[in-house]
Amino acid sequence: MKTLICTTPHQFNYADTIQPVAAKGETLLKIKRIGICGTDLHAFEGNQPFFNYPRILGHELAAEIVTTDATGFSIGESVTFIPYFYCGECIACRMQKSNCCVNIKVCGVHIDGGMREYLSVPSYSLVHGEGLSFDELALIEPLAIGAHGVSRAAVTAGEFVLIIGAGPIGLGTMEFAKIAGGKVIAMDINDNRLNFCKEKLKVDFTINPANENALEKLKAITNGDMPTVVIDATGNLKAINNAFQYLGHGGRYVLIGLQKDDVIFNHPEFHKRESTLMSSRNATREDFEHVIFSMKNGFVNPATYITHKVKFDDVKDNFESWLNPSTGVIKAMVEL
């Protein structure tokens, strides 16, 4: 089968590899769509944590079932799956938090992913297609990341929610913050992305800290209170550290974005606010179900996100261009 391998940073190679055979407890999938996400881009650039080369990327996937032993699923069914494979025995799993399993293996990160024609996955990870298209199914996982961050923040109706980073994960986070009733403030240094937030997602407010005083604008928007929820979806160290000053007293700061270095903040400023700092890792089945429900009921329009489509044979030639903001890419979708 044809497979695309990231052999080293900035290098892809196509290869002919052996088609997998599903073992007991596994399902063999024929891949139909591959969404390109920030994790894939970071891995290509060589700055993705928890990563080794060579690696087959790809975890935002839609597929058809070839063989399965999963109860309630059938051959030929359109599905996606939850790509965070867990042990079921560690402290996190025993607390029903398999999204942060001690021994987690994320498909396309810790183990080889779906940039190939066929993939075998644990049968427990399958998610019914619910009549959604392949494009829609491949968008469920990245949207679930944002939904999980909003769940972690426990966003309530009427509160100001600052979301920093208007990439695909940030955009999905904005959607689910709005669904939760939050008054969303989008922050990014790319005006095109901010215009996308206003025009497509109808966010309440936008801020570009590169050309306006973010602190003063946040004070004006919130009548001096500052946002009670701040969510980082950049993974940029400067942005993460800088955002502590934007948090209102009693507020929650959630880190969806991930990078390699130490987070540094002023303890007295953090302490006097009685702030809460938390990470948001991956997503749960409940988050996947929330995304599917939101898609099927028209709360989220998946077509909003897909700006570029390519055939699998053309990924190698196009991938590096998706690192360039001038291309206007929000979500690139690969068709097989």
pLDDT in tens, 46-76: 877 767 899 999 999 999 999 999 999 999 9
Per-residue pLDDT tens over the stretch 134-161: 999 999 999 999 999 999 999 999 999 9
Q: Cis before residue 54, ω within 30 degrees of 0?
A: yes
pLDDT at 331: 94
> How far, in Å, CA of 268 to CA of 226, rounded?
17
Asked if residue 268 has pLDDT above 90, the reply is yes
Quick one: pLDDT at residue 259? 81
The torsion angle over the Cα atoms of residues 147, 151, 156 and 160, rounded to 10 degrees, is: -60
* 10-39 mean pLDDT: 95
Q: Which two tokens stand for residue 270?
A: 């953090």
Q: Is residue 5 scored above 80 in pLDDT?
A: yes
Q: What is the pLDDT of residues 278-329, one digit of tens each?
A: 999 999 999 999 999 999 999 999 888 999 999 999 999 999 999 888 888 9
DSSP 300: S
CATH architecture of 2-129+305-335: Alpha-Beta Complex (3.90)
Which tens digit of pLDDT belongs to each residue from 247-260?
A: 999 999 999 998 88
Domain with CATH 3.40.50.720 in the chain: 146-279
CA atoms of 241 and 260, how far apart (whole Å): 13
The predicted pLDDT at position 90 comes to: 98
Whole-number pLDDT of residue 51:
78
pLDDT at residue 325, as a whole number: 80
Mean pLDDT to the nearest integer, 159-180: 97
**Residue 45: pLDDT band with limits 50, 70, 90:** confident
pLDDT of residue 155: 98
Nearest to 200 by CA among 305, 326, 328: 305
Half-sphere exposure of 87 (CA within 13 A, CB side): 12
Token pair of 241, please?
């550290």
| Residue 259 dihedral angles phi and psi, to the nearest 5° | -150, 180
- CA 79 to mean position of chain CA atoms: 18
Residues 6+ apart with CB under 8 A from 268: none
What are the pLDDT digits (tens) for 184-193?
999 999 999 9
- Average predicted confidence (pLDDT) for the chain: 95
Spatial separation of the C-alpha atoms in residues 155 and 177, rounded to whole Å: 7
By the 8 A CB rule, do 101 and 87 touch?
A: yes
CB atoms within 10 A of CB 274: 9
Q: How far apart are CA 24 and CA 20, in angstroms?
A: 13
Token representation of residue 145: 């990341």
pLDDT-derived band of residue 42, with 50, 70 and 90 as boundaries?
Answer: confident
Q: Which residue in 37, 17, 38, 20 sits closest to 29, CA to CA?
A: 20
CATH 3.40.50.720 is right for the domain spanning 146-279: yes
Range(s) of the chain covered by CATH 3.90.180.10: 2-129+305-335
C-alpha of 143 from chain center: 6
- pLDDT at residue 124 in the model: 97
Residue 117: count other Cβ atoms within 10 Å of its Cβ: 16
Average of per-residue pLDDT across 38-44:
85
Q: Determine how many CB atoms are found less than 10 A away from the CB of residue 258.
A: 18
Phi, psi of 302 (to 5 degrees): -60, -30
Q: What's the token pair of residue 296?
A: 């099927």
Rounded to an integer, the average pLDDT of 88-98 is 97
